[in-house]
Amino acid sequence: MKRLMKAATILSLLATTGFSADFTMKVSHVVSATTPKGKAADFFAKRVEELTGGKIDVQVFPNSQLFGDGEEMKALAMNNVQLIMPSLSKFTSIAPQMQLFDLPFMFRDKTHLYKVMDGEVGKILKSKVDEKKQMIALDYWDAGFKHLSSSKKALVSPADATGMKFRIQSSKVLEAQFKAVGGNPQVLPFSEVYSALQQGVVDGTENPLSNFYSKKFHEVQTSLTLTQHGYLGYLVVMNEQFWNKLPVYLQPKVLQAMKEATALERKESAQEDNEMMEGLKKYAKASGKLEIITLTTKQRQAWQDAMVKIYPEFADLIGAELINKALKTK
């Protein structure tokens, strides 16, 4: 009896210390653990271990501890990391249809956005990524709608953007978007944006509130126009080799953990948006150095009319039918 009790104690200790795990999943991301993405990644790790009874040991590495922004896609393909969540723009080279998310004024609001992501269009886009045979697309996470900022003059009408230099991510859609309003788009790494704005290399940019506030762009911009014209999000992908090695009974548990993590990430993202807006309002009032502009319906419509003219230019690349499906999603 004593031997049996001792054996049970040893097995219990092994289980609690992680030695019973049959699989190890490394999760890498490039932001802080306190961000919506970081919180969701930690939640996912906890839920996977709970739902699988410790069969999968999930290790999360935030802040580029394992791989940087430009390295993680290659690391995933080589199975050096098993799960990442890069921005959607990182997938446009392997699945050009993903540029659907870069199209200006594509989404009416968050409800419409999530219906597109979680519906037929989102599934089609994920399948385009899956076709590359190195990764499995799991779910879409949220960073928020983008707004315009400037250090030259307030951007109230499209004509105000004429001749201004705007920083963009590498995207033909975003390039065309700013050219449509007379702007001069400049591709720059995100890490260089603050200094570029400060030194006048570029005059303005587009960002979700979280990026604008957390990276202190309000210190080097004099106006922020709440256009909500574009979108920035992430796609969570898993290494295909790792996924295929998981027993069939464990795969649904991983998907359940991801579903719960997605719901948390989107909730945290919405809450963060509100917090960032309050922070920006306080800064604007205290410093007098930032003007926050809320457009009227007519003014926002003018931006939309100017920018959506680029849609036909990308109908073949993205797919006219796919664009229409997204626009008509109820």
- Residue 17's pLDDT is 45
- Residue 20's pLDDT is 65
CA–CA separation, 226 vs 297, rounded Å? Answer: 12
- Residue 1's pLDDT is 45
**98, 65 in Cβ contact below 8 A?**
no
Going by DSSP bridges, is the β-strand pair 223-239/291-293 parallel, antiparallel, or unpaired?
parallel
pLDDT 10s digits, 17-54: 444 689 999 999 988 888 899 999 999 999 999 999 99
Which stretches in the chain have pLDDT values below 50?
1-19
Q: Which two tokens stand for residue 182?
A: 């007379």
- Residue 214's pLDDT is 85
Question: Residue 21: what residue type?
Answer: A
**89, 170 in Cβ contact below 8 A?**
yes
Domain total in the chain: 1
DSSP-derived secondary structure for 49-104: HHHTTTSEEEEEE-TTSS--TTTHHHHHHTTSSSEE--BGGGGTTT-GGGGGGGST
- The single-letter DSSP state of residue 133 is S
pLDDT 10s digits, 61-114: 998 899 887 789 999 999 999 999 998 988 988 899 999 999 999 999 999 999
- HSE toward the beta carbon, residue 133, CA cutoff 13 A: 0
For residue 181, the enclosing domain spans: 2-328
- Residue 293's pLDDT is 98
pTM assigned to the model: 0.86
Question: Residue 132: what residue type?
Answer: K
CATH number of the domain to which 269 belongs: 3.40.190.170
**291, 284 in Cβ contact below 8 A?**
yes
CA–CA separation, 187 vs 201, rounded Å? Answer: 11
